[in-house]
Amino acid sequence: MKVKLCGMKSVEAAQAAVEAGADFIGFIFYPPSSRNVSPGQAAAICDRIGYKARKVGVFVDEEIHRVKAIAELCNLDFIQLHGHEDAAYIRQIRQPVIKAVRYHEGLSHRMIDKLPADLILIDAGNDLQPGGTGKPFNWQQAAKDIRRIQHSVLIAGGIQTSNLQQVWDTFHPYGVDASSGLETNGVKDVAKIREFMQEVKCINATEAATKEMVI
């Protein structure tokens, strides 16, 4: 199970995340978000962490020229689109794309599989907040719909150390995306980051051992 830790705003938190083994580090370029960072801030953090993890820029219905400019400045490895971006928009982006989709009952896996994205992120979200609500969607209801998606899937929405095993047992996803569950008073907590990544390692080790037994 891969891990994306999102909403990074400090070198300390980002370094803690990569040192603990995170696969992706996310930076939010969306001013209404409390986790928004300026391109300059993100570039400075990206400079410090180098190539230890894949750097992801998160955008919401942003002008394509600004996405491209920030991607170049920060040397981003992935672009995450969290708004209403369509296939034509996605095709204009050079980097691999993570397309976020809000879960709702009757979610069409056929429509999702038509998107020219490299990864699909399933999140909660609502009309006022496209993501980062810190609340899970209905996992049990969603499991059947999500298993039908052909793309590799990241699960987001209220994920923290205490429910990580449940996420794995329910979806067996390609990966998870965590943010608010790693914070204390709205700030990334290094201890929570380390605890979360330790739980990930335990789950991955158990899964690897189970596969060896089956073989």
- Residue numbers annotated as active site: 6, 123
Q: What is the 3-state secondary structure of 108-122?
A: CHHHHHCCCCCEEEE
SS3 content of the chain, % helix, strand, coil (to 5): 40, 20, 40
Alpha-carbon distance values, 61 to 21, 119, 127 (Å): 30, 18, 13
Nearest of 98, 96, 8 to residue 45 by alpha carbon: 8
Q: How far apart are CA 124 and CA 101, in angstroms?
A: 8
131 phi/psi in degrees, rounded to 5 = -175, 180
Integer-rounded Cα Rg, in Å, for the chain is 16
Q: How far apart are CA 20 and CA 194, in angstroms?
A: 6
Sign of the four-CA dihedral 201, 205, 211, 212:
positive
